[in-house]
Structure 1
Amino acid sequence: MTAITEGRVVIVTGAGRGLGRAHALAFAAEGAKVVVNDLGVGPDGSGTSRTPAEQVVDEIRAAGGEAVAHAGDVASAEGAASLVATALDTFGRLDTLVNNAGFLRDRMLVNLDEDDWDAVMRVHLKGHFLPLKHAAAYWRAEAKAGREPAARVVNTSSGAGLLGSVGQGNYSAAKAGIVGLTLVAAAEMARYGVQVNAIAPAARTRMTEQTFAETMAAPGEAGAFDAMAPENVSPLVVWLGATASAGVTGRVFGAEAGRITVMEGWRPGPTADKGSRWTAAEAGEAALKLLADSQPPQPVYGAG
């Protein structure tokens, strides 16, 4: 059986550790040539190092695959441009972009500094926008030249972006923004042969290791299923990044352990139309009746 991404060129950002590393290795195992991007920062975004990206490249090459490291900052115009250029210069094409890079600076809102807000919004939201912008420009040029691509983008949102998460106002806002960006990109880029989807994964990484530490397979349990291993998320990402996902775009998928969920977002619910302007009292009365007929919201992570 032919590997699902045989011959495709794939960029994975934040691929030195955690989910990104798992994605890069999974794509390579399915025949893709991988650009492994990682700035090598700490869990809070401090410091830089080429080592994480280079180590993953070494793993891929040791297994017989093809990969190249990129240690640039994808949340800068220069870094994002050089990322796409690395794929084109090394492998001659680009087929799939997986936006995954990020870090955390958790604080309750009243304690959240402006710098922590800006840093998290930058790495997650701007770090999705800029690689997508430069990849999309390449794919648009290919389509206009009569070489319409079968291109794929997989963005990384979070349950925090869909439901909210106490102590993560900056992260939740950035991840919610990624969903909006995904929907717009899917609509704008469809004419050029580009599909854009997002995942909301749950897995144990440097950012979540304390949260999911208790769900690890117990030491010595041979063959035990590690439900929170990042490798559990990667098969869906690889499929979304392959031509096999043709026709799937503008969707958000939850991925956790052995479970895949199609996330269904905002859509009109109960509605009242007076046909003229409401008074404040009337609007309140109508709103309460509509709320009584509506589905209650899912709880915010960490609330209550």
Structure 2
Amino acid sequence: MPEQRCGGVRGEGGRGAVAEGDDGFAVAALDARPQGGLGDTGLGPGRVAAAATAARSVEVAGVAPAGAAATAPPAAATVSAAVAAAAAVAPGAPGAGVELAGVLVDVAPVASPRTPVRGHAANGFAVGSGRRWTHLRINQHPDGGIARLRVHGEVLPDPRWLALLGTVDVACVVNGGVVEEASDGFHSSPGNTIMPGLSQKQDDGWETRRRRDKGNDWIAYRLAGQCEIRAVEVDTANLKGNAAGWVSLSVKDGVDGAWTQVLPRTRLEPDSPHRLPLVAPVLATHARIDVYPDGGFARLRLHGRLTDAGAAALTDRAARAAL
């Protein structure tokens, strides 16, 4: 069976995606759906999988899709087919129909061979591989069809490339940023806010439900690593009658660090970019954006650079994922 290229698929609504490129990706979980299966799994707020259209890597997270069993179906279930998956690391991005026979010598299995799957169902499989990959192959036995394949993981950027660039968007998914939590994901995924490129339509960004209390909506991010942030960019493109009215930004250094507000509540205009320099550079591993009282925005860009400690941690993580 020809190997399928893992294209630059966007992760929407908390659904899984994979990245393509020279450095590789690694899978966290597989979600294979025979034809006629259920709709998208949807991991929900704070579980948005990595996606990229540029050359990046993805590292295993080991998360099974919500609502899908991570074990083989019970013996009494009707088994319509079986699937097996394998991954490889290969340079470049072969086009459709290009065989990877020359590189699949080093293919490593990422799921048990010929795992039974049920028809008209979501079949989830936990993946134990801690490596990164560039290409994935799925085989079905003996024939039949698959409605959707979701590969859940995280982007693992090349630390050498980030060091060469210097100042980068440390929140962007292609550089290793991840949405960890969010107050709302009803209309569209909070993970859209760190996608590369400009938002093309309203649901390319993040739009929240209208609140009926005195609270506010927010998103928490894990950044590419420990970094020094110098400037913030909030884009409300295509959000005209439902953009957030105000926004503030807080950061913390380390998982157990205290949140410190670095951008006070600032007025936003609809369908507009907002470039907001910080008074002084700040160290951070995590960031939280609060919108008031609700509404949404299209993109968040946090411009800065990795610290020496952040770059060293990312280099070590990349080395372990290459084993």
TM surpasses 0.5? no
Name whichever structure is richer in strand by fraction. 2
Normalized against structure 2, the TM-score is what?
A: 0.23
* Structure number having the greater helix percentage: 1
Greater length-normalized contact order (CA 8 Å, ≥ 6 residues apart): 2
